[in-house]
Chain A
Amino acid sequence: MSEKLRITNNKFIDQTSRISFKFDGKKLYGFKGDTLASALLANNIHLVGRSFKYHRPRGIMTCGSEEPNAIVQVGNDPSMTEPNTRATEIELYEGLEASSQNCWPSVNFDIGAVNNFFSPILPAAFYYKTFMWPGNFWKVYEYFIRKSAGLGKSPTKPDGDIYDHKYLHCDVLVIGGGISGIMAAKTAAKNNLDTVLIEDKNTLGGTTLFQQNECFKINNSYSNEWLMKEIQSLSSLKNLKIKTRTSLAAYHSYNYLLARENLTDHLDIDQKKGKIRQRLWKIRAKKVIIATGAMERPLIFNNNDRPGIILSSSIKKYIDFYGVKCGQKISLFTNNDSAYETAISLSKSGVNVNSVVDIRDKTNSLIVKQAEKLGIKIHWKSTVVNTNGYKKINSIEIIKLSDDGTSVIGKKINEKCDCLGISGGWTPRVHLFTQSGGKLKFRDKDNIFIPDKSDLDQLSIGSCNGDFELDDVINNSVNSTNKFLNVNNNDYENLKIISSKEINKKNIWLLPSDKPLGKTKPFLDFQNDSTAKDIKLALREGFKSIEHVKRYTTTGMATDQGKLSNMHALGIIAETAGVKMGELGTTTFRPPYTPLTFGAIVGRNVGEFFDIKRRTPIHEWHVENKAKFENVGQWKRAWYYPKGNENMHEAVQRESKAARDSVGILDASTLGKIDIQGTDASEFLNRVYTNAWSKLEIGKCRYGLMLNEDGMVYDDGVTTRLGENHYIMTTTTGGAANVLSKLEDYLQTEWPELDVYLTSVTDHYATVSVCGPNSKKIVSKVIPNLDLSDDKFKHMSFKNALINNIKCRVMRISFTGELSYEINVQSSYGKSVWEKCFEAGKEFGITPYGTETMHLLRAEKGFIITGQDTDGTMTPVDLQMDWIISKKKYDFIGKRSLYRSDTIREDRKQLVGLLTDDPKEVLEEGAQIVADINKKPVEMLGHVTSSYFSPNLNKSIALAVVKNGKKLKGKKMLVPMKNKNINVTITDTIFLDKENRRLNA
């Protein structure tokens, strides 16, 4: 560390605890309390990166989140590395490794800098004008453009860190822990309001914390000393919660805000592990006070981008807060009073201040007089027209300004320096205010946008509201805070304040030069390398709107989102186009305020918490019995149960055969179940299903088809009448939640007169389906008291029963065409009933089967699966299920749509069966069906919706939808695949047991 650059009497940096870190592989030292930027400056390292387009050498320019240049890659570990991190925001920690970005082979010698040489032919948006020849060569150009663009590198391994979310509700949220935020938070908390104060730095106090100057006093103390006491007093306030290292990321409508708290980024590398790295606070505040301060503006002149050119207020912070001299011979260039504070601080710390170049006429404010008293030389009414030094500034060129400020006059003075502080005035940080939907107004006297109107319960105070001088900050904040919070207990009324007042204001957005503009490089957006010339080019080419200019020149689109450049872009546009800035409007400030890690946004909802897993009560049994699972919505359903080395096909063939030859058992618990009660339950079902329900006897089951209002099939299932006014409806697994919502919607909004109550009971019952010729024997063993004889317990009926005194409902319904029983029992007994059935079935070789076998078995019978055989474009008529449409019912959901001119067409796509000429050939689901492959364009008549090899029929079967299919039975068709055409014949949809004999086998 270069001791010469570090001053020793500093209360903010712990100079007893030295920290080692690496930058570009070189081991360096800093102190606890440093940022990477301050530590680098203390090591006399200014050059830290290369710019985006021209690869010009760039150095640290600021001390905060607006930093455009000092953007580094942190860490080398492929899972923990982080690109594009601002050196000005990285708190130094033991083990920190950072490196320069966007340069190769090194930041000192960067091949990409050749772009700087070509810069004359690379004006703004040059890429729209070239790379068009030869016609298909863009790919090649693009490859090289992409390689040279981008900044840092993405991690290449999954993140090892944890992120977290928390909700926060409060009466008052104060954003920003500077002097005005501290005062507002204290006032709110003292008035019994539940208050939260957040601050993105690790300490409260803002810039006042190190403002120790005769010109700024409160109650006879230096402003910093006064503020320290105030900060100390905060800890006694019970209603106040303070969160430091917490950055407000987004301010949404209804006072919903997101803030990111950094918890481990500042810790030594061996302290980080296993802790939550960042927490995203989701805040809902009754009232919000924005006290985010202001940013210093740069000045725009030729070669204003060299390493060593730093914002004046940042130089002040480096010396007063971090105890670091940004140089030994510093020049300052300003258009306002604040640079004099820097000059005074530097001078008091023993840094040689060459001069202050001020574009204004001589002014006599308190602070200027103090600087003059210290012997600081001032070039009044002058401008810097150029800087020299490639990798570090070494001199500036100063010339007098003409009276009107549009040109330079007289002789150029060369001034040697190793650092240039620039100050172009201040821009209120109104980003959060505008994010929240607030409208800005323009204040002409100092060329700033300040908050105007907002619909939300919020207030901006301090310099983000345009109050830059200490007395204004305090007095205006006190008044507006009292009014906003409707309180009168405020500690800060009648303070005695001394504050230097700026008398003379002058602003020139683009400073005049002794060279034509075309020969200069006055940078606006430092990271994206856009210059004032680029803005003028855009205007010349007809891009008038600020948004056009921004997009055309990429000004304000870098990782700092134009924090430093937007105002100058607007200013130059206004000047060039001869319009008032206030009329031009601003570009939209979009969230987040500073870039926000994806990890923080997602929180813990990653990996196993990405989405919940719904498991049936019998799930464990399936796992123990080696089931493979299928995701159906959020459910994990047993897909098939391979034995030994069986693949899926083999397992499914075995399971399917077993279910038809003897007995199979299926976990059907995932089907949606809705309990429907009320005196109008039957009428309700009449309205929601296509068929009639009033006459269904108690104890009977009926299949129903539900349509959307557009007439298309939506869901299906069996509903059972449990009592006079009591039904239980089943839905598809995936459709359960939506069906319930839809039914509730109709009930509450269209038919509130109906006395009907709906309750989802999907999770309350487990459903064990025993299926096959031997199913009756098993059920009779498990429920010996139940009379299963065909005349007492008919197909499509239900009985209440007891298994070991546990109530259950047994439905004799079938989705496979086999005799089968579904036992519904309270979930907690599901596994036990399943095991009982399994035990009872052992002598019959009971075979568990999964969804794949279920699908195959139902396809043999031609039963549809909604969502697979339908796609939102199929009516019941298309499905050849005309029988399910009640002719007698006046209305049901979707009925009218069935009679529209297109839906009533007879040659719509209709559900049919398909048999392949080669019975061994199994069609691919989704394959298209054509009649004539030679006709161009090929007319696709439909597609295969379900396809299986049926072990029970020993041939391939398929369901399909085919245009005019009903009338095409027996017709030959082709299923064209990539490498062959498969010959098929259209058939009936029922392949097995057309007479339904097996139901009563």
Chain B
Amino acid sequence: MKNKYSIFSLIKNAFSYHENWQRAWRDPEPKKEYDAIIIGGGGHGLATAFYLAKKHNMKNIAVVEKGWIGGGNTGRNTTIIRSNYLWDASAGLYDHALKIWEGLSQELNYNVMFSQRGVMNLAHNLQDIRDLKRRTHANRLNGIDAVWLNTEEVKKFCPIINTSPNIRYPVLGGTLQRRAGTARHDAVAWGYARGADAMGVDIIQNCEVKGIKRNGDSVEGIETTKGFIKTKKIGVVAAGHSSVIAKMVDVKLPLESKPLQALVSEPVKPIIDTVVMSNAVHAYVSQSDKGELVIGAGTDAYISYTQRGSHDVVEGTLKAILELYPIFSRMKMLRQWGGIVDICPDASPIISKTHIKGLYFNCGWGTGGFKATPGSGDLFAHTIANDEPHKLNADFNINRFVSGDLVDEHGAAAVAH
């Protein structure tokens, strides 16, 4: 076991000028064979490895990552965590994740700074009200703590929102999930990596997968830039690059990979202490512990793997931000960036077996995957270990695109941010 992190370990290490801290994870060369390999060292992939080792006693496993762990969407998202989804399947999935979040820092002995500052979703037209109320009713019956707020209550909970009835799309109310909030994205990847490594999981960075070797309908291993690695089970958690991996085994997925942008302002003293989301005008904002306003922009409509998007999207988002928060006009954008999000037609993920034995996909999280990280990892680990889905991810199979039994969070207006 690695040395435990705590205030006492910090004090103890101060005496040796912090020169005796252990590595958070090793830097191993790949073995010849593993019982399972996870492709993709983001939050979901590392969590999958962690739970495979912890709950399914699979310790001879590896996570292979093309770049550096947590460098994809894990390190690029706006860290909103909530579970107030409409459909039972989604609510089950995301609330499972939320429950793990609530004890994650302790489980990992790594402070992921899960901050339950509440997430508010605003309504700007009559259909928004219907949709959000519908969601709130469904949430309540599913045991999820979302409530409806009228405009005055919205204002009370977040006083800096412009709730004037005279703006173009006035705030007509909103929902609030108090258990929802944000977390420190990098810490999630690092915490899972450290935890998985401690149980013997090999985390292999700078190792790009070049091919998947098949024997008939089963997988046999992966070709990588560090050579061939044998395995009978492959879990693909490659987010925006899922289709690229799928192509290696001639599988097509119902995915499109698109640019999603986000930005932060310069840091300021606390000014907004909750997360506010508005689908109708497209404005998402929270404030990081460092003091930066964290703002999520939208996706571009075209496929791109460049991690860049168009300026119009950023402009459109800030336009909406200033509509709802005119006090932010003199705030300054410090940094903007883009990620590649893999989007399913129904805005719900795929956590599924495939027709190839030993090949599993966890993808399609679109713009909202971060919040699901622990739950996704847990359920995907279950699916890989048992070669069958957990009941909480059974509905998120690939076959739903054939049968038509979609989990349409998109149509339900609950855009998956």
CA distance A163 to B14 in the complex (A): 50
B55 within 8 A of A: no
**A551–B5 touching, CB < 8 Å:** no
> Cβ of A132 and Cβ of B5 under 8 Å apart?
yes
Contact with A along B35-54 (1 / 0, CB 8 A): 00000000000000000000
A157 to B162, CA, bound (A): 10
Residues from chain B with a CB closer than 8 A to the CB of A630 are: 125-126
Stretch of A322-330, A604-612, A682-690, A880-888 on the interface side? A604-612
What residues on B are CB-neighbors of A610 within 8 Å?
167-169, 319-320, 323
Q: Which residues of A contact B287 (CB under 8 A)?
A: 146
B371 at the interface (CB under 8 A from A): no
Q: Which of A154, A545, A547, A551 is in CB contact (< 8 Å) with B271?
A: A154
| Given A159-B326, A551-B186, A601-B318: A595 in contact with B6 (beta carbons within 8 A) | no
Q: Give A517 to B269 CA distance when docked, in angstroms.
A: 33
Interface residues of B in 295-344 (CB under 8 A from A): 306, 308, 310-311, 314-315, 318-323, 326-337
**Residues A138 and B113 in contact in the complex (CB < 8 Å), given A551-B75, A610-B168:** yes
Q: Which residue of A lies closest to B140 (CB)?
A: A978
Cross-chain contact A142 with B289 (CB below 8 angstroms): yes
Residue A839 interfacial (CB < 8 Å): no
Q: Known: A81-B330, A130-B10, A154-B331. Contact between A146 and B289, CB under 8 A? A: yes
User: What distance in Å separates the Cβ of B363 from its nearest Cβ neighbour in chain A?
Assistant: 20
Q: Once bound together, how far apart are the Cα atoms of A901 and B406, in whole Å? A: 12
Interface residues in B219-247 (C-beta closer than 8 Å to A): none
Shortest distance from the beta carbon of A652 to any chain B beta carbon, whole Å = 13
When the two chains form their complex, are residues B266 and A547 in contact, meaning their CB atoms are under 8 A apart?
no
- List residues of A (572-613) whose CB comes within 8 Å of B's CBs: 588, 590-592, 595-599, 601-602, 605-608, 610-611, 613
Mask, B267-305, CB within 8 Å of A = 1, is: 111110100000000000001011100000000000000
Count: A-B pairs, CB below 8 Å: 317
Residues in A150-172 with C-beta less than 8 Å from chain B: 150-159, 161, 163
Q: How far is the CB of A511 from chain B (nearest CB, A)?
A: 18
In the complex with contacts A149-B290, A930-B141, A606-B111 CB distance below 8 A: no
Stretch at the interface among A34-42, A499-507, A535-543, A768-776: A535-543
Q: Which residues of B sit under 8 angstroms from A597, Cβ to Cβ?
A: 329-333
Does B17 lie within 8 Å of A533, measured CB to CB? Answer: yes
> Once the chains bind, are A154 and B327 in contact (CB under 8 Å)?
yes
Q: Output the least CB separation between B194 and chain A (Å).
A: 9
Q: Mark A251-287, 1 if CB is under 8 A from B, else 0.
A: 0110010100000000000000000000000100000
The complex places the Cα of A383 from the Cα of B318 at a distance, in Å, of 48
B1-19 interface bits toward A, Cβ cutoff 8 Å, 1 = contact, 0 = none: 0000111011101101111
B106 contacts the other chain (CB 8 A): yes
Shortest Cβ gap from A84 to chain B (Å): 4
Check if B270 sits within 8 Å of A598, measured CB to CB: no
Please give, as numbers and ranges, the residues of chain B lying within 8 Å of A901 by CB-CB distance.
402-404
Q: In the assembled complex, which residues on chain B have CB atoms less than 8 Å from the CB atom of A79?
A: 327
- Do the beta carbons of B322 and A599 come within 8 Å of each other? yes
Given A250-B311, A610-B167, A902-B404, answer yes or no on A542-B105 (Cβ-Cβ < 8 Å).
Answer: no
Are B71 and A547 in contact, with the CB atoms below 8 A? yes
Instruction: Judge if A903 is at the interface, Cβ distance under 8 Å.
Output: yes
Is B138 part of the binding interface, using a Cβ–Cβ cutoff of 8 Å? yes
* A921-953, CB < 8 A from B: 924-928, 930, 937-938, 940, 943, 945
Q: Are B329 and A130 in contact (CB under 8 A)?
A: no
CB distance from A254 to the nearest CB of B (A): 10
Q: Is the CB of B332 within 8 A of A84?
A: yes
B9 to chain A: which residues have CB within 8 Å?
129
Residue of B nearest to A249 (CB): B333
User: In chain B between 383 and 417, which residues have their CB closer than 8 angstroms to a CB of chain A?
Assistant: 400, 402-406, 408, 410-413
The residue that A928 contacts in the complex, of B141, B266, B318, with Cβ under 8 A, is B141
| Closest chain B residue, CB of each to CB of A122 | B10
From A80, A517, A540, give the contact of B330 (CB < 8 A): A80
Is B268 a contact partner of A154 (Cβ separation < 8 A)? Answer: yes
Q: Given A152-B269, A154-B271, A597-B331: A128 and B111 within 8 A (CB)?
A: yes
Interface segment, one of A360-368, A758-766, A866-874: A866-874
Whether A561 contacts B332 in the complex (CB less than 8 A), given A541-B23, A873-B411, comes out as no
Contact of B268 among A153, A533, A940 (CB under 8 A): A153
Judge whether B252 is part of the interface by a CB distance below 8 angstroms.
no
Judge whether B157 is part of the interface by a CB distance below 8 angstroms: no
Kindly state the interface size class of chain A when it binds its partner.
35 or more
CA distance A533 to B18 in the complex (A): 9
A542 x B26 contact (CB < 8 A): yes
Residues from chain B with a CB closer than 8 A to the CB of A980 are none
Chain A residue nearest in CB terms to B183: A138
Give the contact stretch, choosing among B128-136, B349-357, B374-382: B128-136
Q: Does B60 contact A (CB under 8 A)?
A: no
In Å, the complex CA distance between A145 and B137 comes to: 36
Report A79 CB to chain B, min CB distance, Å: 8
Interface: A559 (CB within 8 A): yes
Contact B267 A139 (CB under 8 A): no
Question: Is A135 in contact with B103, judged by CB distance below 8 angstroms?
Answer: yes
User: What are the interface flags for B118-130 relative to A under an 8 Å C-beta threshold, 1 for contact and 0 otherwise?
Assistant: 0000001111011
**In the assembled complex, which residues on chain B have CB atoms less than 8 Å from the CB atom of A155?**
327-331
Q: Does A123 count as interface, using CB distance less than 8 angstroms? A: yes
Decide: B168 and A897 in contact? CB cutoff 8 A.
no
B311 to A, closest residue via Cβ: A252
A147 touches B318 (CB 8 A): no
Measured in the bound complex, the distance between the Cα atoms of B69 and A551 in whole Å is 12
* Pairwise interchain contact A83-B268, C-beta atoms closer than 8 A: yes
Are A154 and B328 in contact (CB-based, < 8 A)?
Answer: yes
> Contact between B24 and A599 (Cβ–Cβ < 8 Å)?
no
A632 at the interface (CB under 8 A from B): yes
A983 to B114, CA, bound (A): 41
User: With contacts A151-B267, A940-B138 known, is A542 near B24, CB below 8 A?
Assistant: yes
Nearest-CB residue, chain B, relative to A589? B335
Chain B residues within an 8 Å CB radius of A138: 105, 111, 113-115
Q: Is the CB of A900 within 8 A of B141?
A: no
Determine whether the beta carbon of B109 is less than 8 Å from that of A132: yes
Would B326 and A561 count as touching, CB distance under 8 A? no
B184: chain A residues at CB < 8 Å are 128
Interface check A957, CB cutoff 8 A:
no
Evaluate contact between A976 and B141: CB separation under 8 angstroms: yes
Q: B88 at the A/B interface (Cβ < 8 Å)?
A: yes
The CA-CA distance from A610 to B67 in the complex, in Å, is 41
Partner of B136, one of A150, A543, A926: A926
Q: A258-B311, A601-B333, A937-B142 are in contact. Are A131 and B290 (CB under 8 A)?
A: no
Q: A516 on the interface (CB 8 Å rule)?
A: yes
Which residue on chain A has the smallest CB distance to residue B314?
Answer: A601
Cα A127 to Cα B7 in complex, Å, equals 9
CB <8 Å contact, B5 and A130: yes
A131-B111, A252-B311 known; A631+B125 contact, CB < 8 A: yes
Separation of A253 and B310 alpha carbons in the complex (Å): 9
CB closest residue in chain A, given B116: A139
Q: Does B187 have its Cβ within 8 Å of any Cβ on chain A?
A: yes
Task: Assess the B270–A147 pair: CB atoms within 8 A.
Answer: yes
CB-CB under 8 A from B322, the residues of chain A are: 598-599, 602, 606
Q: A117 an interface residue at 8 Å Cβ cutoff?
A: no
A142 to B186, alpha carbons, bound, how many Å? 17
Residues from chain B with a CB closer than 8 A to the CB of A145 are 289
Report 12 cross-chain contacts, Cβ distance below 8 Å, ordered by A residue: A123-B13, A130-B5, A154-B331, A155-B328, A155-B329, A252-B310, A559-B267, A596-B332, A606-B319, A901-B402, A925-B130, A925-B133
Binding site for B on A (CB under 8 A): 52, 79-84, 120-123, 126-133, 135, 138-139, 142, 145-147, 149-159, 161, 163, 250, 252-253, 256, 258, 282, 437, 516-519, 533, 537, 540-545, 547-548, 551-552, 559, 561, 588, 590-592, 595-599, 601-602, 605-608, 610-611, 613, 630-632, 710-712, 867-868, 871-873, 897, 900-903, 924-928, 930, 937-938, 940, 943, 945, 976, 978
Q: Which 6 residue pairs are nearest across A and B when measured between Cβ atoms?
A: A518-B17, A872-B411, A150-B291, A926-B134, A159-B329, A926-B133
